[in-house]
């Protein structure tokens, strides 16, 4: 059942201005009967000013009269057509003033790493408007040159579970439409718990990348041996140089003497 606004102040007014019993007031304002009795004794709501439910369109005088005459009568909140749908209305997520300057960075991160998210989903995650998202998506934002993408979870703008749920929902919608996801998009759909539980993939150092397929076969070794034998030179032949004319003259002079 709908409750009146300013319930405690309304209870104070009903205790002070009517003869309705504590049980009836407690049921109407959503309080415990002992709390209403404490208001009458002055132990509860000390200093609270009464809130007139008749003047504020919450009760009719006929309803109060009926409750005073019949102790079993339950007070009914007055129908207010202007208040219909107020409980269902949901505005954008509230963002503290200290974090509002970080929203463009988080929007750019979501647009860059999760392009499958709609503008409505991005707006709910970080609490922004569609024109701002569209401006960042099209890179027409006035400060786009100075914006760096930052994870909204790291900035405290949303929870990791909320981000995962939004990504999963977008992926399901994309799959229902018959679109095929790329490998990168599938990797993004892994939840935080799964990614933390995965073993690290072994990676080859960049310095030796490409050498993992290098092998030495017997045939190649044999060919190398043949090439080495054909090009092999004897050490003596390498150091034996042709005789020059000066050496011949010295040899003849030595023989004559």
Q: Can you give the pLDDT at residue 93? A: 64
The C-alpha torsion from 134 through 136 and 142 to 143, rounded to 10°, is 160
pLDDT digit string (tens) for the chain, length 257 residues: 577 888 888 999 999 999 999 999 999 988 898 988 889 888 887 888 888 888 888 888 999 999 999 989 988 888 765 545 544 445 556 666 777 888 999 999 999 999 889 999 999 899 888 999 999 999 999 999 999 999 998 888 888 888 888 988 888 887 787 665 565 655 555 555 555 555 555 555 555 555 555 555 555 544 555 555 555 455 555 555 555 555 555 556 656 65
Q: Can you give the pLDDT at residue 70? A: 92
Q: Can you give the pLDDT at residue 205? A: 56
Q: Using CA atoms, how far apart are residues 210 and 239, in angstroms rounded to an integer?
A: 42
Q: Using CA atoms, how far apart are residues 120 and 128, in angstroms rounded to an integer?
A: 9
Q: Using CA atoms, how far apart are residues 33 and 225, in angstroms rounded to an integer?
A: 104
pTM, entire model: 0.41
> In 61-203, which ranges are continuous DSSP H helix?
61-69, 103-113, 119-126, 130-137, 152-155, 160-176, 183-188, 192-197
Q: Can you give the pLDDT at residue 156? A: 85
What's the Cα-to-Cα distance from 250 to each of 104, 240, 241, rounded to whole Å?
95, 18, 17
Q: Which residues of 114-151 are buried (b: 16+ CB within 10 A; e: fewer)?
A: bebbebebbbbbbbbeeebbebbbeeebeeeeebebbe
pLDDT one-digit tens code per residue, 120-169: 999 989 988 899 999 999 999 999 999 999 999 888 888 888 888 898 88
* The length of the chain, given as a count of residues: 257
Q: Using CA atoms, how far apart are residues 165 and 189, in angstroms rounded to an integer?
A: 10
Q: Can you give the pLDDT at residue 101? A: 85
């Amino acid at each position: 059942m709908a409750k009146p606004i300013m319930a405690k102040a309304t209870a104070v007014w009903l205790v002070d201005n009517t003869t309705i019993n504590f049980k009836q007031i407690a049921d109407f304002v959503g309080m415990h009967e002992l709390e209403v009795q404490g208001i009458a004794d002055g132990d509860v709501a000390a200093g609270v000013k009464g809130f007139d439910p008749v003047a504020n369109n919450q009760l009719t005088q006929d309803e109060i009269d009926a409750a005073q005459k019949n102790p079993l009568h339950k007070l009914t909140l007055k129908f207010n057509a202007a208040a219909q749908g107020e409980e269902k209305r949901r505005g954008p997520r509230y963002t503290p003033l200290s974090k509002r300057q970080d929203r463009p960075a988080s929007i750019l991160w979501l647009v860059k790493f999760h392009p499958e998210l709609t503008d409505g989903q991005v707006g709910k995650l970080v609490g922004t408007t569609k024109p701002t998202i569209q401006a960042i998506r099209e890179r027409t934002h006035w400060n786009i040159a100075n914006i760096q993408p930052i994870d909204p979870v790291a900035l405290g703008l949303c929870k990791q579970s909320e981000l995962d749920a939004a990504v999963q929902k977008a992926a399901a919608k994309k799959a229902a439409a018959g679109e095929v996801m790329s490998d990168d998009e599938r990797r993004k759909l892994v939840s935080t718990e799964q990614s933390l539980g995965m073993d690290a993939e072994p990676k080859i150092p960049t310095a030796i990348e490409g050498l993992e397929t290098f092998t030495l076969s017997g045939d190649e070794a044999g060919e190398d041996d043949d090439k080495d034998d054909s090009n092999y030179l004897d050490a003596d032949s390498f150091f034996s140089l042709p005789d020059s004319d000066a050496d011949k003259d010295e040899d003849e002079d030595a023989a004559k003497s």
